[in-house]
């Protein structure tokens, strides 16, 4: 541990190390491990501490585009630390950037701390995240795996299979979507709820097979909720005419008026640093922002839409694993608003997952830490390869 390029804990202060351990309840943050890292020592006066404070972003991840490009102070900040047991610490340290990306570790930390928070509060409601989507066979996507973090960017040109991939994620909750327009495919999805679960979905002609944890099911359970917004939600009509109204927000979210009212009335309590209060006046919604929350001139009504969206997803994430899928949200957004939307989702307090699909690299270039990036790289005439490698991001950027 402690090598220059690894994730060793050498430069965390004693205080930071202790805080990380306590916030993790002295348990390993790897969702597949969870081992206790503290216990009785050899004598009555001793404790045995087998935990390690590892770096989320290692020095080696400093990339040309500033990915994980941390200063020494940022590197040793508590936000860049994760509590692991000794075995997981070694595993992650020796494979840094190789299956254990910074964004994956950041997700582990967020998931673990959320789990501890719930356990401390005596709550046992289900929650969790989707971990992987493995394509075994598909008519556009070549076999490959997408590893999800809490925040995910998905890049690909038009017809690269982006929307097909999002469709598979949606279809696990609603398999009839696959049968509406059947095309042969086979894929495996794993998720935490909070145990690790696995579903296999296969479509062959008019035949659908669905297995959960290797058992065949007739009526698929809904493993997680997908809330999705497509490009139609962001067109100029909405922004010009319907800002700050219950009906406008309902249309933006694709929900009934009463759902929109529930979402809006929860905004002040779930965004305490940003919104003081909301008031309804017929269909109109008056939102009082904190004076220093953002540049009202530039961001204005866009903030209402995306705050409502985050609150909507979070309300759902309290009762079931929830993924928010945004298909090209940046098309019509001002630069400052794009930055603001990324900041909103980068807040550690949310427990839903975000998958943002884009055809340009704008979101990639403006994001901060914690985003996991997947690229659909064209291969031949009509197929795409799933890639999470940096070289392929550069390649798409040049194209």
| 33 lies in the site for Zn ion, by CB under 5 A | yes
Q: With respect to Zn ion, which residue has the nearer C-beta, 88 or 326?
A: 88
| 28 lies in the site for Zn ion, by CB under 5 A | yes
Q: With respect to Zn ion, which residue has the nearer C-beta, 88 or 201?
A: 88
Please give the angle made by the CA atoms of 45, 11 and 371, to the nearest 5 degrees.
115
Distance CA 372, CA 388 (A): 8
Q: Which helix (H) or strand (E) holds 354?
A: strand 353-358
Question: Smallest distance from the beta carbon of 133 to Zn ion, in angstroms?
Answer: 24
Q: With respect to Zn ion, which residue has the nearer C-beta, 90 or 170?
A: 90
Half-sphere exposure of 197 (CA within 13 A, CB side): 20
| 35 lies in the site for Zn ion, by CB under 5 A | yes
Helix 335-346, helix 296-317: angle, nearest 10? 30
Where does this chain touch Zn ion (CB under 5 A) — which range of 84-92, 196-204, 301-309, 360-368? 84-92
| In 234-385, alpha helices (H) | 236-241, 246-253, 257-270, 296-317, 335-346, 362-366
Residue written as tokens 């840094």?
Answer: 96
Q: With respect to Zn ion, which residue has the nearer C-beta, 8 or 220?
A: 8
Q: With respect to Zn ion, which residue has the nearer C-beta, 89 or 329?
A: 89
Distance CA 317, CA 266 (A): 14
Instruction: Judge contact between 386 and 146, C-beta under 8 A.
Output: yes
Q: With respect to Zn ion, which residue has the nearer C-beta, 52 or 353?
A: 52
- Residue from 16, 30, 52, 353 binding Zn ion (CB under 5 A): 30
| 38 lies in the site for Zn ion, by CB under 5 A | no
Q: How many residues bind Zn ion (CB under 5 A)?
A: 6
DSSP string, 196-212: EEEEEEEEETTEEEEEE
Where does this chain touch Zn ion (CB under 5 A) — which range of 23-31, 215-223, 230-238, 337-345? 23-31
| 88 lies in the site for Zn ion, by CB under 5 A | yes
Please give the angle made by the CA atoms of 71, 74 and 80, to the nearest 5 degrees.
130
Question: Smallest distance from the beta carbon of 144 to Zn ion, in angstroms?
Answer: 27
Question: Smallest distance from the beta carbon of 91 to Zn ion, in angstroms?
Answer: 8
| 86 lies in the site for Zn ion, by CB under 5 A | no
Cβ contacts of residue 237 below 8 Å, gap of 6+?
none
Half-sphere exposure of 235 (CA within 13 A, CB side): 5
Q: With respect to Zn ion, which residue has the nearer C-beta, 36 or 257?
A: 36
Question: Smallest distance from the beta carbon of 37 to Zn ion, in angstroms?
Answer: 8
Distance CA 168, CA 185 (A): 9
Where does this chain touch Zn ion (CB under 5 A) — which range of 12-20, 79-87, 130-138, 234-242? 79-87
Q: With respect to Zn ion, which residue has the nearer C-beta, 87 or 208?
A: 87
Restricted to residues 108-167, the positions that interact with Zn ion (CB under 5 A) are none
Where does this chain touch Zn ion (CB under 5 A) — which range of 7-15, 78-86, 346-354, 371-379? 78-86
- Residue from 85, 153, 200, 310 binding Zn ion (CB under 5 A): 85
| 255 lies in the site for Zn ion, by CB under 5 A | no
Where does this chain touch Zn ion (CB under 5 A) — which range of 6-14, 24-32, 120-128, 162-170? 24-32
Mark 189-217 as b/e (b = at least 16 C-beta within 10 Å). Answer: bbbbbbeebbbbbbbeeeebebebeeeee
Question: Smallest distance from the beta carbon of 9 to Zn ion, in angstroms?
Answer: 15
Distance CA 341, CA 333 (A): 10
**Contact residues for Zn ion (CB under 5 A)?**
28, 30, 33, 35, 85, 88
């Amino acid at each position: 541990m402690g090598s220059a390029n690894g994730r060793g804990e050498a430069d965390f202060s004693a205080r930071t190390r202790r805080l990380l351990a306590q916030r993790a309840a002295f348990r390993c943050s790897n969702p597949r491990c969870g081992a206790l890292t503290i216990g009785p020592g050899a004598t009555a006066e001793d404790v045995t501490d087998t935990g390690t404070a590892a770096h989320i972003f290692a020095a080696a991840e400093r990339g040309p585009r500033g990915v994980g490009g941390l200063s020494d102070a940022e590197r040793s900040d508590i936000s860049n630390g994760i509590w692991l047991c000794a075995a997981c610490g070694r595993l992650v340290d020796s494979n840094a950037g190789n299956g254990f990306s910074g964004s994956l570790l950041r997700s582990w930390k967020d998931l673990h701390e959320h789990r501890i928070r719930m356990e401390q509060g005596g709550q046992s409601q289900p929650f969790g995240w989707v971990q992987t989507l493995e394509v075994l066979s598909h008519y556009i996507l070549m076999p490959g795996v997408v590893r999800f973090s809490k925040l995910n960017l998905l890049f690909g040109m038009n017809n690269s299979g982006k929307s097909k991939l999002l469709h598979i994620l949606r279809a696990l909750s609603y398999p009839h979507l696959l049968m509406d327009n059947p095309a042969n495919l086979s894929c495996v999805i794993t998720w935490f709820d909070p145990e690790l679960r696995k579903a296999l979905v296969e479509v062959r002609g008019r035949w659908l097979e669905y297995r959960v944890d290797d058992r065949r099911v007739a009526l698929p359970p809904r493993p997680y909720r997908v809330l999705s917004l497509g490009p139609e939600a962001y067109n100029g009509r909405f922004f010009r005419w319907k800002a700050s109204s219950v009906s406008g927000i309902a249309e933006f979210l694709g929900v009934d008026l009463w759902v929109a009212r529930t979402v809006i009335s929860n905004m002040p309590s779930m965004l305490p640093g940003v919104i003081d209060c909301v008031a309804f006046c017929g269909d109109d919604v008056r939102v009082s922002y904190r004076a220093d929350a953002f540049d009202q001139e530039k961001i204005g009504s866009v903030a209402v839409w995306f705050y409502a969206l985050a609150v909507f997803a979070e309300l759902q994430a309290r009762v079931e694993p929830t993924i928010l899928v945004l298909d090209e949200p940046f098309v019509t957004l001002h630069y400052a608003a794009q930055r603001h939307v990324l900041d909103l989702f980068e807040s550690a307090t949310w427990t839903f997952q975000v998958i943002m699909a884009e055809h340009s690299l704008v979101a990639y270039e403006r994001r901060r830490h914690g985003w996991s990036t997947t690229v659909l790289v064209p291969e031949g005439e009509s197929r795409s390869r799933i890639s999470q490698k940096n070289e392929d991001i550069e390649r798409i950027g040049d194209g």
